[in-house]
Amino acid sequence: MTFELAIILLPFIVAACIPIFYRRLPKKVIGWVVLVVPLSLFLLLTTYIPRIAKNQTFSNNYEWIPSFNINFTTYLDGLSLIFSLLITGVGSLVILYSIFYLSKKESLHHFYCYLLLFMGAMLGVVFSDHLLVLYAFWELTSVSSFLLIAFWHHRKASRAGARKSMTITVSGGIAMLVGFLMLYSMSGTFSIQEIISNIAGISEHALFIPALVLVLLGAFTKSAQFPFHIWLPDAMEAPTPVSAYLHSATMVKAGIYIVARFTPIFGGEMTWFWAVTGVGLLTLFWGSFNAVKQVDLKALLAFSTVSQLGLIMSLLGLGSIAVYLGYSQDSIIYTQAAFAALFHLINHSTFKGALFMMVGIVDHEIGTRDIRRLGGLMPILPFTFTVALIGSLSMAGMPPFNGFLSKEMFFAATLKITQLDVFSIDSLGVVIPVIAWVASIFTFVYCLIIVGKTFFGKIKPDILDKNPHEAPIGMLIPPFILIGLVVGIFVFPNLLGHYILQPAMASIYPTFPSTEELTPHISAWHGLNMELWMTIGVVILGGTLYYFLKRWKPIYRWIPQRFTLNSLYETIISFSENVSENLTKRYMTGNLTHYFSYIYMVFVIVVAGIFFLTDSFEWSLMSNSSVESFELILVFVVIFAAVAILFTTSRIASVLLNGVLGYSVAFFFVIFRAPDLALTQLVVESVTTALFLICFKFLPDLTPERTSKRVKFTNGVISILVGATVTIVGLAVINYEKFETISTYFEDAYNLAGGKNIVNTILGDFRAFDTMLEVVVLFIAGLGVYTIIKLKAKKGDADIEN
Amino acid sequence: MKINDVILRTVVKGVVFIILTLGVYLFFSGHNAPGGGFIGGLVLGSGIVLLYITYDLETVHKKMPFDFKKVAALGVLLATGSAIGSLYFNAPFLSQTDGYFNIPILGEKHLTTVTIFEAGVALTVIGTLVTIILSISEDE
């Protein structure tokens, strides 16, 4: 056990404990108990900073299923550290905030359980080196996000938003899984670090580009990149602390993490450069353009998050060119884009987290987030106003806040890239800074909207009636800590650059010899250069656009509702729902006989089909042992019982005949010297008969079935075919000699498993995995029977769906 | 209608002990002779079901106040827990080990960790079996 594994497991363990112990805790305390988890993890992780800053990495391997090459490998380096600090740091603040935000009447134990589940999954994503384990955690973040969005599940919009986000992110996740499997088939390893170290061997492979595209699909859906961004605004139905945590600071950055992590693998490809940069820029523009038209503050922030994620994504794309160019004095300059990406990643979490908390306070105290109904709140919520102002200005890229520094670096990176002439940048590259600049203008406009429409102007009379007041101190501390960071990072950017960003650069560019060179000196004043002029242009044009907002806002109506991505999504979903419903209705008739015939037909077609296809019939009685007369008698008893069941008219008789069948089989086991099987069969037979006896009082009298001759004939044919197939399989098993025998294991059972009864060594040791899962299945079946019988919906219960 | 089941009650009083003893015997003998967790659990479970059939629910429940769903859950926990437990000894998932121990009075005995796993299996079987039969028979 090392610390890294404990860090991943702790949130899961606490999450598992909450449902057990929450009743013993007063409702006020539960949030504080949960707060201990991220806080202690954050403090623990900060102790890694000095060691990571010296370019140490921490790797640990736990064998999980070694026969399938699946290991639990934790890998902690600079990149993981940034993300884990964000997850635990913002997590602590959000939980503190939520203690005051959520009413004590909510089902808090669910909320914190899901939140911890998410935290553990997210830490698992950033700490896992093994692709499949990473994938599992990745999907777990989607699941916990689904649960959190649907936290207020009595609201229809919450459920729809939760489903949308789940559908989109999980489909992307599955694409990513396929990509991972392709990577495995190319490289023969699931370890990301090992793939990175023999990248040369796979980059020419035919599957390399498809794998690249599939992995990117996963990253883009998770990070809400165009055209998959549509789930993020709908996810705002979640409680605001969740939006601040999952949908701005952490989960949506998982895609960024994947892109950064895979840059050393795929970074040298033209497809990667253009896909990441292009999609990022498009998202940046589309998000900021759409944010302006929103009237709900949270929706506005959602689109701004989409846009900012696009910015970070495009920076990573720009930075990947350095991987293609390889290490040289000239190429080092292009790594600055990736540096800016990481820098902006942290900055975005600080100011966007604060802004979400600000919106939460406004919603909580005023009762609405609609900017048409807000205004003039500055005198009522002075502290909240401070948060909004600093957060928005930082997002707009204004000094003296950290957003200014990363925005300048972003402009610098887009300008620098145009000087290259690879990947046809010389012809297309000039578009990059233009889009970046235009998007920044819209960013500036919506930042002004957030502050202006909420806090300036005239206050609406209906708000004053409610006598609103400033939020409790607990809701103000977390956003103030964040805006403290916004200012602090502006003042001491190089502290962050040196200790946190520099080691992460080594993870993105492992082939570059010195990380010192990769870390530019960040300075607030870098002369009157092109970047600064661009910012000044943004302010002037953005200010003008905000002033004339009413005049040009009608352009948003140019796109008809029918052609939006959302309506496309709705069409696809309702279409697939209809198709699957029709298809399912056709074969799910509710008639057990039909279901049995499906099962049997599939069985016959697959099994007998394979025998026919491979043409594997050869009739020979040579290797069979002789058949004794008492065995023949048993066979006839079995046949008699089986046929007689068909003609019985009472249930008792058929149950008894069924018993005859079962006990005869037990006799066969005895004859063939399988005492374990015989014992089991006997007991099972007895228990089944008891079950039948109990069930009798619920069953109606046996009535003769009225079915047409054709149906009877078909059923008869199917039965005979099944019997024939089973017989063939039975005969084939005895005479099959294609594979090497595995009975040597069992014969040596005493040495290998310490038991003389080989049946039990198979159950408990050689195939213990099967047994374990069977036990679980058995338990689930028992619970299923129990719930079906005990928890029947009472007649006249109101339908909870609406 | 009251069924006269004196014979059944009298016989069951004796037989149940034999069945339960057989169940326990089968459970422990499983390692080197026919038996084991599954079959042991089945026998024990059917013994308990026999009790329930002969005497009414309340009487049996007064003497055996177990919630059999929880018994099954405990079994699953034991089985999966013993599997995960091996990870803490730096052994692969589901590793089992055995050894000979000298225990006072009993002498040298062969003890294995499979027993824990098998106990989980047995408890799950008992719990599930009884839960299913009880819930069906209690249904109105």
A425-453 residue pLDDT tens: 777 778 888 899 999 999 999 999 888 88
**Domain-located, residue A411:** yes
Chains A–B, number of C-beta pairs less than 8 Å apart: 149
Burial of B111 from C-beta contacts in 10 A (0-12 / 13-18 / 19+)? middle
Which of A90-94, A173-177, A612-616, A768-772 has the weakest average pLDDT? Answer: A612-616
pLDDT(A178) > 90? yes
Low-confidence stretches of chain B (pLDDT beneath 70) = 1-3, 106-107, 140
Which pLDDT score, from 0 to 100, does residue B3 have? 66
Which pLDDT score, from 0 to 100, does residue B140 have? 62
pLDDT(A120) > 90? yes
Per-residue b or e along A527-564, where b marks 16 or more CB atoms closer than 10 Å to that residue's CB: eeeebeebbeebeebbeebbeebeeeeeeeeeeeeeee
Q: Do A527 and A407 belong together in one domain?
A: yes
Q: Do A690 and A788 belong together in one domain?
A: no
Give CA–CA dist A713/A719, Å, rounded. 10
pLDDT by residue (tens digit) across A573-629?
899 999 999 999 888 888 888 899 999 999 999 988 888 888 777 776 666 677 788
A754 and chain B in contact, CB less than 8 A? yes
Q: Which residues of B touch A63 (CB under 8 A)?
A: 92-93
A69 and chain B in contact, CB less than 8 A? no
More confident residue, B123 or A23: B123
Of the pLDDT bands very low, low, confident and very high (cuts 50, 70, 90), residue A720 is: very high
Give CA–CA dist B73/B123, Å, rounded. 8
* A779 contacts B128 by C-beta, under 8 angstroms: yes
Which pLDDT score, from 0 to 100, does residue A794 have? 60
- Given A266, A290, A311, the domain boundary residue is A266
Q: Do A758 and A726 belong together in one domain?
A: no
Of the pLDDT bands very low, low, confident and very high (cuts 50, 70, 90), residue A141 is: very high
Q: Which of B32, B93, B121 lies nearest to residue A64, judging by beta carbons? A: B93
Give CA–CA dist A444/A537, Å, rounded. 11
**Domain-located, residue A697:** yes
pLDDT by residue (tens digit) across A776-791?
999 999 999 899 888 7
CA distances from A258 to A196, A266, A313, A520, A554 (A): 14, 11, 11, 24, 39
pLDDT by residue (tens digit) across A541-552?
888 888 887 888
pLDDT above 70 covers what percent of chain A? Answer: 97
pLDDT(A480) > 70? yes
Mean pLDDT of A500-512: 85
- Contact: A779, B128; criterion CB under 8 Å: yes
Of the pLDDT bands very low, low, confident and very high (cuts 50, 70, 90), residue A1 is: low
pLDDT(A801) > 50? no
Min Cα distance A728 → chain B (Å) is 30
Mean pLDDT of A441-468: 83
CA distances from A726 to A580, A600, A607, A632, A788 (A): 33, 11, 9, 19, 33
- Given A219, A251, A266, the domain boundary residue is A266
**Domain-located, residue A529:** yes
Which pLDDT score, from 0 to 100, does residue A579 have? 95
**Domain-located, residue A672:** yes
DSSP readout, A83-151?
HHHHHHHHHHHHHHHHHHHS-TTS-HHHHHHHHHHHHHHHHHHHHB-BHHHHHHHHHHHHHHHHHHHTT
3-state secondary structure of B109: strand
Q: Which residues of A touch B76 (CB under 8 A)?
A: 775-776, 779
- Given A241, A266, A291, the domain boundary residue is A266
- Contact: B136, A695; criterion CB under 8 Å: yes
Min Cα distance B7 → chain A (Å) is 18
| Helix spans in A456-529 (H) | 461-465, 473-491, 493-496, 502-508, 515-518
- Contact: B137, A687; criterion CB under 8 Å: no
Mean pLDDT of A234-241: 88
Q: Which of B42, B83, B88 lies nearest to residue A680, judging by beta carbons? A: B42
- Contact: A782, B132; criterion CB under 8 Å: yes
Q: The tokens of A397 are what?
A: 């890229």
pLDDT by residue (tens digit) across A49-80?
888 888 888 888 887 777 777 888 888 888 99
DSSP readout, A735-800?
H--SSPP-HHHHHTHHHHHS-S-HHHHIIIIITHHHHHHHHHHHHHHHHHHHHHHHTPPPTTPPP-
Which pLDDT score, from 0 to 100, does residue A694 have? 72
Residues shown for chain B: 140
Give CA–CA dist A400/A390, Å, rounded. 9
Which of A778, A787, A789, A792 is the best residue to mutate to test the B interface, defined by the most B CB atoms within 10 Å of its own CB? A778
Min Cα distance A685 → chain B (Å) is 11
- Contact: A694, B117; criterion CB under 8 Å: no
Q: Which residues of A touch B114 (CB under 8 A)?
A: 753-755, 760, 764-765
pLDDT(A743) > 80? no
Q: The tokens of B59 are what?
A: 């009487």
Number of independent structural domains in chain A: 4
Give CA–CA dist A346/A496, Å, rounded. 10
DSSP readout, B87-107?
GGGT--TT---EEEEEETTTE
Which pLDDT score, from 0 to 100, does residue A122 have? 93
Q: The tokens of B117 are what?
A: 């796993």
* B31 contacts B111 by C-beta, under 8 angstroms: no
Q: Do A471 and A387 belong together in one domain?
A: yes
Q: Do A439 and A529 belong together in one domain?
A: yes
Q: Which residues of B touch A677 (CB under 8 A)?
A: none
Give CA–CA dist A203/A209, Å, rounded. 9
- Contact: B139, A687; criterion CB under 8 Å: no
**Domain-located, residue A323:** no
pLDDT(A800) > 50? no
| Helix spans in B30-110 (H) | 37-54, 57-63, 68-85
Min Cα distance A664 → chain B (Å) is 19
Q: Which residues of A touch B127 (CB under 8 A)?
A: 779, 782
* B30 contacts B114 by C-beta, under 8 angstroms: no
**Domain-located, residue A487:** yes
* A94 contacts A241 by C-beta, under 8 angstroms: yes
Mean pLDDT of A519-544: 82
Which of A69, A746, A779, A789 is the best residue to mutate to test the B interface, defined by the most B CB atoms within 10 Å of its own CB? A779
**Domain-located, residue A313:** no
pLDDT(A160) > 70? yes
A777 and chain B in contact, CB less than 8 A? no
Q: Do A34 and A62 belong together in one domain?
A: yes
- Contact: A789, B42; criterion CB under 8 Å: no
CB contacts under 8 A, B 62-121 vs A, are 69, 72-73, 75-76, 79-80, 83, 87-88, 92-94, 96-98, 110, 112, 114, 117-118, 120-121
Min Cα distance B53 → chain A (Å) is 9
DSSP readout, A206-236?
TTHHHHHHHHHHHHHHHTT-TTSTTHHHHGG
Q: What CATH number did the domain enclosing A676 receive?
A: 1.20.120.1200
**Beta pairing partners, B108:** B102
* A144 contacts A117 by C-beta, under 8 angstroms: yes
User: What mean pLDDT value characterizes chain A?
Assistant: 86
Mean pLDDT of A443-468: 83
Min Cα distance A691 → chain B (Å) is 7
Q: Do A372 and A514 belong together in one domain?
A: yes
Of the pLDDT bands very low, low, confident and very high (cuts 50, 70, 90), residue A369 is: confident
Q: Which domain holds residue A770?
A: 740-795
* A250 contacts A122 by C-beta, under 8 angstroms: yes
- Contact: B112, A755; criterion CB under 8 Å: yes
Which of B32, B56, B84 is the best residue to mutate to test the A interface, defined by the most A CB atoms within 10 Å of its own CB? B32
Of the pLDDT bands very low, low, confident and very high (cuts 50, 70, 90), residue A346 is: very high
Residues shown for chain A: 802
**Domain-located, residue A280:** no
Mean pLDDT of A408-433: 82
- Report the complex ipTM: 0.91
